């Protein structure tokens, strides 16, 4: 049943006594708007209306959760601060003798938010407050960038992944039950008795290879057993993951022998603890294991308008349109311009922005080529005349109709081998051993050509100067703990990102009102209650 906050002030409240918490600090300003910041009624549908013990007030739990992500502390530490930290007592308007609550209540509250689709509650509320206060116009520019989020799950090697996969699959099949286990082979039964690496010399390559053969054979035997219960969703999920691990990590050489595959599969599973974690690289020397966070910021107000946790191995460009569309859906804002680095400036993104209703102006460079003198950008591609002219003035009208990786028609122009061999740039320009230089067009080649021309203009350089503003905002998010995931599973990590961004946005709103907290209170009061995504049965 919904518990409500008692707004009646008492002599024991921290606010009623002289205290050293500065009124212009985050905690002091949060205290000044405490009565309007969160409302119990906003989340009333998450609780049974007429049965059970009264819950902890959701306004209190929202305030504690916000401070938890602002100060980057765990559940137990958050409760300790509720009981003993004067700043938190002032911010939450708690009595000095408040006894706190069990740390598990914070976990239950987050689960309720996720169950009822309210993980965006604080984030969306503060954006609407920013609109109501006049800091966000109806039409906005957006600056986008991404950063790494390190995973909370254990990163496991191939041997551990296969072994744990077999164990999990056997348990899902019910073989831990003694009556059913009697029909299990001795080899497979051993995975239920012991969860540890084999006792071999792991420094010996031959011993490792022999162990790999054993694991693969046992995995295939376990998968064969799973066929009998293929209608069970959990069995299918674990069986699919185990099959994927075998396909990604194990290869067969020309002699038919098993060995670890060289290189990393693009979507390789690296953890049973958090199966959504992935390997990713910022550069050749910078690698992380976990997820990636995409951040959209409105540059005038410097408010974060959208934040999303995506797969670490996902290219930045794939997130552009979903992020922009999410701003329009959740915030009711019309995006008229998007600014991002070259990762977001693909031809497909430019086409999607141009076809959007209304069109979005995408400001993004095409990147600096490794060898500008012989790069494709140095060739003059005439799409109407169907000819390409190289930097040395040679022209080719010979082309083939081919298809790109999405099955769309494109053209591949080929220069005569003899012409290329006589060119002083031949060694740098031509990679083929049999033909001359080839130049392949993009399906949206015209848009890319226009973008390259615009990139050279002073107007582009002025607009692109806004991009570093989002890097500073990301650094601020990282200061509040966004770099390290607190939870396992992307839904929970998305909640972490949203509430961290909400805390950062509230801090920004305090700065924007410049001490006029009455203006912020009026905006908080004017914002409508949220609509829950799902209602409990």
According to the model, what pLDDT value does residue 441 have? 96
Average pLDDT over residues 411-415: 96
Residue 398 has φ and ψ, to the nearest 5°, of -90, 120
Q: How far apart are CA 108 and CA 308, in angstroms?
A: 23
Kind of pairing between the strands at 139-150 and 287-298? antiparallel
Instruction: Note the helical H segments in 15-92.
Output: 26-32, 34-37, 58-71, 75-84, 86-92
According to the model, what pLDDT value does residue 313 have? 93
Average pLDDT over residues 398-416: 95
According to the model, what pLDDT value does residue 180 have? 85
Residue with tokens 């390259």: 452
Of 222-231, 290-299, 329-338, the poorest mean pLDDT is in 222-231
Residues 45, 536 contacting (CB under 8 angstroms): yes
According to the model, what pLDDT value does residue 287 have? 87
Residues 116, 311 contacting (CB under 8 angstroms): no
Q: How far apart are CA 380 and CA 387, in angstroms?
A: 8
Q: How far apart are CA 185 and CA 221, in angstroms?
A: 10
User: Of the candidates 239, 53, 262, 279, which has an alpha carbon nearest to the alpha carbon of residue 153?
Assistant: 279
According to the model, what pLDDT value does residue 295 have? 98
For the chain, the structural domain boundaries read: 158-260, 376-445
Average pLDDT over residues 96-123: 95
**Residue length, the chain?**
537
Residue with tokens 């966070």: 293
pLDDT confidence band for 60 (50 / 70 / 90): very high
Give 341-371 pLDDT, tens digit per residue: 999 999 999 999 999 999 999 999 998 888 9
Average pLDDT over residues 438-443: 96
pLDDT confidence band for 536 (50 / 70 / 90): very low
According to the model, what pLDDT value does residue 17 have? 62
Identify the bridge partners of residue 252 per DSSP, sorted by sequence position.
258
User: Of the candidates 395, 272, 333, 315, which has an alpha carbon nearest to the alpha carbon of residue 130?
Assistant: 333
Residues 371, 386 contacting (CB under 8 angstroms): no
- pLDDT at residue 423 greater than cutoff 80: yes
Structure tokens at 34: 């405490």
DSSP, collapsed to helix, strand or coil, labels residue 334 as strand
pLDDT confidence band for 535 (50 / 70 / 90): very low
Average pLDDT of the chain is 92
pLDDT confidence band for 9 (50 / 70 / 90): low
- pLDDT at residue 164 greater than cutoff 50: yes
């Amino acid at each position: 049943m919904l518990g409500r906050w008692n707004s009646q002030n008492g002599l024991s409240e921290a606010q009623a006594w002289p205290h050293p918490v500065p009124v212009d600090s985050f905690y002091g300003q949060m205290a000044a708007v405490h009565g309007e910041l969160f409302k119990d009624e906003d989340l009333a549908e998450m609780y049974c209306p007429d049965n059970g013990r009264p819950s902890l007030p959701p306004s209190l739990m929202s305030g504690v959760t916000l401070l938890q992500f602002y100060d980057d502390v765990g559940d137990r530490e958050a409760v300790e601060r509720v009981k003993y930290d004067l700043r938190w007592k002032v911010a939450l308007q708690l009595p000095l003798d408040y006894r706190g609550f069990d740390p598990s209540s914070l976990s239950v509250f987050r689960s309720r938010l996720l169950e009822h689709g309210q993980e965006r509650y604080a984030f969306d509320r503060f954006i609407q407050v920013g609109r109501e206060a006049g800091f966000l116009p109806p039409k906005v520019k957006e600056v986008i960038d991404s950063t790494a989020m390190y995973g909370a799950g254990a990163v496991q090697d191939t041997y551990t992944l296969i072994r744990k996969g077999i164990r999990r699959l056997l348990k899902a099949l019910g073989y831990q039950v003694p009556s059913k286990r009697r029909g299990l082979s001795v080899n497979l039964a051993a995975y239920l008795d012991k969860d540890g690496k084999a006792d071999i010399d792991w420094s010996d390559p031959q011993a490792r290879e022999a162990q790999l053969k054993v694991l693969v054979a046992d995995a295939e035997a376990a998968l064969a057993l799973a066929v009998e219960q293929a209608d069970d969703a959990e069995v299918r999920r674990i069986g699919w993951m185990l099959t994927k691990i075998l396909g990604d990590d194990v290869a067969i050489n020309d002699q038919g022998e098993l060995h670890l595959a060289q290189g990393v599969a693009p979507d390789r599973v690296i953890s049973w603890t958090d199966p959504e974690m992935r390997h990713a690289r910022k550069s050749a020397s910078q690698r992380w294991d976990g997820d990636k966070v995409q951040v959209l910021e409105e540059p005038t107000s410097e408010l974060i308008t959208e934040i999303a946790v995506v797969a670490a191995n996902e290219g930045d460009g794939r997130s552009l349109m979903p992020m922009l569309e999410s701003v329009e859906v959740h915030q009711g804002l019309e995006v008229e311009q998007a600014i991002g680095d070259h990762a977001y400036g693909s031809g497909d993104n430019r086409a999607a922005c141009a076809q959007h209703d209304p069109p979005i102006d995408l400001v993004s460079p095409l990147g600096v080529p490794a060898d500008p003198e012989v790069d494709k950008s140095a060739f003059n591609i005439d799409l109407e005349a169907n000819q390409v002219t190289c930097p040395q003035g040679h022209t080719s009208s010979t082309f083939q109709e081919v298809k790109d990786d999405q099955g769309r028609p494109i053209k591949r122009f080929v220069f005569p081998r003899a012409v290329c061999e006589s060119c002083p740039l031949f060694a740098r320009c031509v990679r083929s051993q049999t033909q001359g230089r080839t130049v392949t067009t993009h399906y949206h080649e015209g848009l890319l050509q226009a973008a390259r021309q615009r990139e050279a203009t002073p107007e582009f350089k002025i607009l692109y100067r806004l991009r570093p503003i989002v890097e500073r905002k990301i650094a601020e998010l990282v200061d509040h703990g966004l770099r390290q995931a607190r939870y396992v599973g992307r839904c929970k990590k998305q909640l972490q990102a949203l509430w961290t961004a909400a805390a950062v946005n509230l801090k920004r709103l305090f700065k924007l009102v410049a001490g006029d907290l009455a203006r912020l209170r009026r905006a908080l009061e004017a914002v409508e209650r949220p609509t829950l995504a799902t209602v409990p049965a």
